């Protein structure tokens, strides 16, 4: 756990000011040539304050992810507790909705996100850490699906979690490259297509009858999803 998570109470604006100062220095003189002391001085904070908010230079670049992962854990836990009829009751859609929360965070400050993206692309060590961070999101979605859908084939869970993360990163990179206008709806449309490919309806609703239930499912639909729908119908 990094210092970002330990000092998550620090005002977002204050932390972003440090991040912005660091990214300016990384762009001007390179990541390796920039010291913590230079970042602290440029941001107008003490060295001790820097280390209280961040664990090191690379933590500045990935400062949001520990907080985001903690927020997504709570988001998905709340999805499990949602009353019937809410979209997040469908575990597949809930995993997608959690990913949309991450997109919304970075799309809210696109300039800062683009500058961070440019730095990561230039530094091999940061690209390697990015891979590890992506895996953390995949693992979070995988664990959630297995918990929400008992009996789910691990292959389906792993595949869907990886696909959700890959689709998110693809759409986010389109935004970060700044060559096109990419909205949150673009990501949702992509997730609707993804769920369709897995044989899952985004709304998770089926027709019900008080006495007789007749249902048909795509052959490709995971067995655990069929079980969930039949259990709800009964």
Rounded to whole angstroms, how far apart are CA atoms 103 and 109?
10
DSSP state for residue 135 in the 8-state scheme = H
CA-closest candidate to residue 15, choices 47, 46, 42, 54: 54
> In 10 A of CB 8, how many CB atoms?
14
Cα separation, 79 vs 10, in Å, equals 27
In 3D space, the residue among 102, 215, 212, 124 whose CA is nearest the CA of residue 168 turns out to be: 102
Q: Among 77, 86, 81, which residue's Cα sits nearest to residue 205?
A: 86
What CA–CA distance (Å, rounded) separates 229 from 80? 15
pLDDT in the model for residue 203? 65
pLDDT at position 142 is: 98
DSSP designation for 82: P
The half-sphere exposure of 147 on its side-chain side, counting CA atoms within 13 A, is 14
Residue 2: per-residue pLDDT: 38
- pLDDT tens-digit profile, the chain (234 residues): 333 334 544 557 788 889 999 999 999 999 999 999 999 999 999 999 999 889 889 999 998 898 899 999 999 999 887 654 444 468 999 999 999 999 999 999 999 999 999 999 999 999 999 999 999 999 999 999 999 999 999 999 999 999 999 999 999 999 999 877 899 999 999 999 999 888 887 665 433 334 556 778 888 888 888 888 887 776
pLDDT the model gives residue 66 = 85
Q: Which domains does the chain have, with CATH numbers?
A: 1-61 (1.10.10.60), 64-205 (1.10.357.10)
Distance CA 164, CA 176 (A): 18
What are the DSSP E strand ranges found in the chain? Answer: none
Nearest alpha-carbon partner for 6 in 49, 57, 40, 53: 53
């Amino acid at each position: 756990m990094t210092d970002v998570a330990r000092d998550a109470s620090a005002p977002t604006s204050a932390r972003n000011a440090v991040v912005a100062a660091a990214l300016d220095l990384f762009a001007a003189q390179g990541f390796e040539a920039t010291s913590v002391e230079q970042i602290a001085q440029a941001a107008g904070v003490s060295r001790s304050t820097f280390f209280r908010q961040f664990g090191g230079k690379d933590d500045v670049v990935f400062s949001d992810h520990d907080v985001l992962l903690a927020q997504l854990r709570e988001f998905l836990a709340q999805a499990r507790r949602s009353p019937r009829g809410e979209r997040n009751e469908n575990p597949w859609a809930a995993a997608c909705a959690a990913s949309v929360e991450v997109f919304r965070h970075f799309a809210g400050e696109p300039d800062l996100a683009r500058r961070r993206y440019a730095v990561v692309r230039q530094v091999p060590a940061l690209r390697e850490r990015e891979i590890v961070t992506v895996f953390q999101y995949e693992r979070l979605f995988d664990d959630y699906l297995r918990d929400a859908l008992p009996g789910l084939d691990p292959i389906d869970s792993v595949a869907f979690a990886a696909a959700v993360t890959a689709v998110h990163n693809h759409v986010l990179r389109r935004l970060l490259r700044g060559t096109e206008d990419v909205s949150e709806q673009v990501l949702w449309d992509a997730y609707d297509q993804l769920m369709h490919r897995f044989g899952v309806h985004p709304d998770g609703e089926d027709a019900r009858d008080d006495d007789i239930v007749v249902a048909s499912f795509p052959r490709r639909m995971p067995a655990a999803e069929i079980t969930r729908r039949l259990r709800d119908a009964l």
